[in-house]
A and B are shown apart, each in its own frame.
Chain A
Amino acid sequence: MTQNLTTAASVSDATTDRDNDAGKNSGWRRWWQPTLAVYTAPVILFVVVGIKLPSIFSKSGLLSVLVLAAVLGIACIGQTLAILIGGIDLSIPATIGLANVLVATLTLNHWSFPSICLVLFGLSIVIGVVNGVLSSLFNLHPLVVTLGTGSIITGGILEHTHGNTGGVVPHFIVDAVSPVGRSFGLPIPASVLIWLVLAVLVLLIERRTTIGRRIFALGANPTAAPLSLVNPVVTRIVVYTVGAISACISGVLLAGFSGGASADIGQPYLFSTITAVVVGGTALIGGRGGYGRTIAGAFITIEVQTLLIGLKVGVSMQQVFLGLIILALVATYGRERSVAQRI
């Protein structure tokens, strides 16, 4: 295996793919199948959806799916990292709502878009620090902490705007999520391009940086991590800050859909971010999985939703189906875990 040293392989965790140079090492065969399933499922599902709804094969149909997946996929960055460290981030929907409302109301008040971004960035850091510090210092479960911060954020928006969350959305945001939108002269909506850039960045951070590996280490063994110089508080702060930033980006993009704003526009994303992460195969106990899988999970989630809508299944029944999918998958992945922890 020494000759592998020269290949540009990643320091990969157990469950991420290694498809580039995988043929050379013996671990390849064992991981090929489950990994392949995760990445082929969106393609197969896409064809299945297409059989029922042939319009999805059109350019605009394809781009609609891509845009929806992009908004969800970006929001999932934070959820993936939070789940990787063995936590969860329930404040994502509220942060989406915050960004959504702020971009609309501040634009109405003639703020420039860069300054709005700066405000959102600052708020993200505050949210990340609060989530990270509270879930570290007082030994509170992140479930409770992020539920609390989420509730405070939503309450804060409603108090500040007196429930009047309407506003103006800059036209370029509307373009960014429109299937006919263009960027750099290409017929691709900006939101998809943003997702692509962010995805590459997150995958790089996961595999090629110290903080990335520390996120995995903290999730894999929270007792051993501090003994190996992984600072749990700093790591959590980074994770929840990145989570808040990604939620803000999704929130801004969502404003483009409605052309207006609402504090609870993020609510569906509570469930769908967790669905996408879990469907992708990132384990809720932490340390196993990664964003690559979540990308596949986001596509699967959007495609299932599209299919259900196409089949004229009501919103409530969609929830039921997604819930069943999560339960089935968690049960399956649970088996893998018991094997991993057999000692």
Chain B
Amino acid sequence: MTTTTTETAEPAQGEMPSPMLTMHDIHHAYGKTVALHDLSFEMLPGEIRGLIGENGSGKSTLVKLLSGVMPASSGTIAVDGRRVVFRSPRAAQRAGIVTVFQETLISAESSVRDNVFLGQDGIARRGASRSAERERALEYFEKFGLETSVLDGSVVHLSLAQRQVLTIIRALTRQWRLLILDESTSALDLQTRDALFDVLREQTRSGRSVLFVSHRMDELQSFVDRATVLRSGAMVGTLEQAAATPDALLRLMSQRASKESLENLDELSHKPDAGASVPGGEEAAGERRVESVRIRADVSLRENSRRFLIEVRAGEVLGVAGLEGHGGAAFLETLVGLRPPASGEVVCVKPDLSTKPVRSYGRAVKDGTVYVPGNRQVEGLFAPLSVVDNMLMATMGEDTTLGCFRMRRLLARTQSLVERLDVEVADIRAPVDRLSGGNQQKVLVGRWLAAQPRVLVMNDPLRGVDIGTKRQFYQLLRRLADSDVAVVLLSTEIEELVQVCDRVAVFRDQSVQALLDRHQMGYDEILEAMFGQNVVAGAAQGGAS
């Protein structure tokens, strides 16, 4: 399973140095979801290793295991050949493993200096004398182009990039032997990033190692000695610097894992060829036809990100792809009025071609745009409440006389949704948290189908849902699109997008990297765009066709 295409590190061959870090047979699962399996991984002293893989490939899990955030379900980790078990981040740090995470963990109440040395002081004693500390920190400040005067200031005034530099300096001033950079260079400008690479190259000469997790091909190619590719929780290969071209890395990433589980989906004949492009035309099976609207977003998501134009059309399923944090989710929130765009506007185009700006979530819903949020436990479910409550929370007001519910109608409406979505539930008045994850997800979608949407926006609704339920969903989405609902589906699974979507918008760096048509959107094309490899012509203009 682990096909390591390595031709051994170049300095070695004869006297191979013993690895400073060994992970053997690592297996880790979150409940039923397997995040890593049969993973064996070694790092040599002085090595700079790259780690790459798409969302959910197991990178973050690997980093968390190494930095002591959680212990592995099974398998062993050894440092210098001695087995270690990290029960806390502190334990990992004592072994010399220091991690800089993607989220910039800053204590906003403290000064810059205190942030740099956060966690190194004892409760009563200071870690080192003040002046020695200052000197060490200032040295890095200078190298990374930070004004030395900020050291005594407050963190509040620092930019995102400066905060990221700060967390890196925090790590560098510790006693590290293995430094893990978990996508922690994403906000840095080129100059700072190169300065950081220089510092790290120099420091690894003394035998320290760096594990560098990144989504940027160019960074990987210019900085690392070797690059390891993860896919679906397993290592699929390690390439030498010279061999680690974007093409080669992408090839490894896109090797389909186990295809048989998805094969039975192929019979799902999506994309009836006429359907999508002729809104308001022929008859639809099963779902009630809705008044068709279009949503046009001409926005930039962040202050200095590229502006783009996307039109969500009635009768189509528009896929949204992209690595986490690259703007896909932000785009959905902007579409439904939950997040104002940095510039530009989202408008709803009515059938009579009159337009209406989408300014708030409440108004978006009134105009028929609904949003099924991504994290169903946090943003979706009312766990202790009944299936009826959960399904009808947004539309209960429809079934009242003099303010009181008409119970029969309320229950009948729930029952019809339960049947339409095929929710497996014994008692619709029992708490929703007794249902399985897939059925809970159906309830959430039911909540918004109850509102008879014209535009249905969904944030990764099928994460962690079984294959049978997925299939039902795909058919439902198809039926909805055929009845002129505009469907927007964000998914972290590329196969899913290829299966059900008419078009796919791939996000990268808070903007649309590529807008792929049906005949362009293969698995590889989407993956390449996610990693910034190809820009399909016309992406910036979007669906204004």
Contacts and interface: CB of A to CB of B under 8 A. Distances in A.
Interface in A161-215: 204, 208-210, 213-214
Contacts of B381: 221, 224
A44 B467 CA distance: 53
Contact of A224 (B373, B400, B415, B431): B373
Most chain B CB within 10 A, of A12, A221, A224, A226, is at A224
A14 B386 contact: yes
B407 A224 contact: no
A227 B385 contact: no
B208 to A, nearest CB: 41
Nearest to A27: B430
Interface stretch (A3-11, A56-64, A71-79, A125-133): A3-11
A13 interface: yes
A12 B386 contact: yes
Given A208-B405, A228-B394, A287 B385 contact: yes
A12 B429 contact: yes
A169 B131 CA distance: 74
Contacts of B377: 343
Given A27-B426, A227-B371, 14 more contacts: A2-B415, A4-B427, A11-B410, A13-B389, A14-B386, A209-B400, A209-B403, A216-B389, A220-B385, A221-B382, A229-B362, A229-B393, A340-B433, A341-B383
Contact of B379 (A2, A210, A223): A223
Interface string A40-77: 00000000000000000000000000000000000000
B123 interface: no
B353 interface: no
A230 interface: yes
Interface of A: 1-2, 4-6, 8-15, 18, 25-27, 204, 208-210, 213-214, 216-217, 220-221, 223-230, 287-288, 340-341, 343
B386 A227 contact: no
B384 A220 contact: yes
Interface of B: 361-362, 365, 371, 373, 377-386, 388-389, 393-394, 396-397, 400, 403-405, 407-408, 410-412, 415, 426-431, 433, 437, 447
Contacts of B383: 220-221, 287, 340-341, 343
Nearest to A209: B403
Contacts of A208: 404-405, 407
B389 A11 contact: yes
Contacts of A227: 361, 371, 373, 379-380
A5 B371 CA distance: 29
Contacts of B437: 343
A231 B405 CA distance: 19
A220 B380 CA distance: 11
Contacts of B430: 14, 25, 27
B394 A229 contact: yes
A224 B389 CA distance: 13
Contact of A13 (B378, B379, B380, B384): B384
Contacts of A341: 383, 433
A13 B384 CA distance: 7
Contacts of A226: 361
Contacts of B405: 11, 208-210
B407 A217 contact: no
29 contacts: A2-B415, A4-B411, A5-B415, A9-B429, A11-B388, A11-B429, A12-B429, A13-B384, A13-B389, A13-B431, A14-B386, A25-B430, A210-B400, A210-B403, A210-B405, A214-B393, A216-B384, A224-B380, A225-B382, A226-B361, A227-B361, A227-B373, A228-B393, A229-B393, A229-B394, A287-B382, A288-B384, A341-B433, A343-B437
Contacts of A288: 384
A26 B427 contact: yes
Contact of A223 (B378, B386, B410): B378
A213 B379 contact: no
A224 B385 contact: no
Contact of A26 (B361, B396, B426): B426
Contacts of B403: 209-210
Most chain A CB within 10 A, of B394, B431, B447, is at B431
A214 B389 CA distance: 9
A287 B381 CA distance: 12
A162 to B, nearest CB: 44
Contacts of B389: 11, 13, 213, 216-217
Given A12-B429, A25-B427, A229-B394, A217 B384 contact: no
A2 B416 CA distance: 10
Given A27-B427, A227-B379, A343 B433 contact: yes
Contacts of A228: 393-394, 447
A10 to B, nearest CB: 8
Given A223-B378, A227-B371, A229-B365, A217 B400 contact: no
Contacts of A230: 393
A210 B426 contact: no
B407 A11 contact: yes
B141 to A, nearest CB: 34
Most chain B CB within 10 A, of A10, A221, A225, is at A221
B362 A13 contact: no
A343 B400 CA distance: 34
Contacts of B415: 2, 5
B528 to A, nearest CB: 34
B386 A13 contact: yes
B362 A11 contact: no
A216 B390 CA distance: 11
Nearest to A231: B362
Most chain A CB within 10 A, of B373, B388, B396, is at B396
A220 B431 CA distance: 12
A286 B461 CA distance: 27
B365 to A, nearest CB: 6
**6 shortest interchain CB distances as A-B pairs:** A220-B382, A14-B431, A228-B393, A14-B384, A27-B430, A228-B394
Contact of B412 (A5, A18, A204, A209): A5
A5 B408 contact: yes
A210 B396 CA distance: 6
B404 A209 contact: yes
Nearest to B411: A5
A223 B376 CA distance: 11
A8 B430 CA distance: 16
Nearest to A342: B433
Given A209-B400, A213-B396, A13 B428 contact: no
Nearest to A6: B408
Given A11-B410, A204-B404, A227-B361, A216 B394 contact: no
A210 B394 CA distance: 10
Contacts of B365: 229
A221 B384 CA distance: 9
A13 to B, nearest CB: 5
A78 B412 CA distance: 33
Contacts of A210: 396-397, 400, 403, 405
B29 to A, nearest CB: 15
Contacts of B378: 221, 223-224
A216 B397 CA distance: 15
Nearest to A287: B384
Contacts of A204: 404
A1 B426 contact: yes
Contacts of B429: 4, 9, 11-12, 18, 25, 27
Contacts of A340: 383-384, 431, 433
Contacts of B379: 223-224, 227
A131 B429 CA distance: 33
Contacts of A220: 382-385
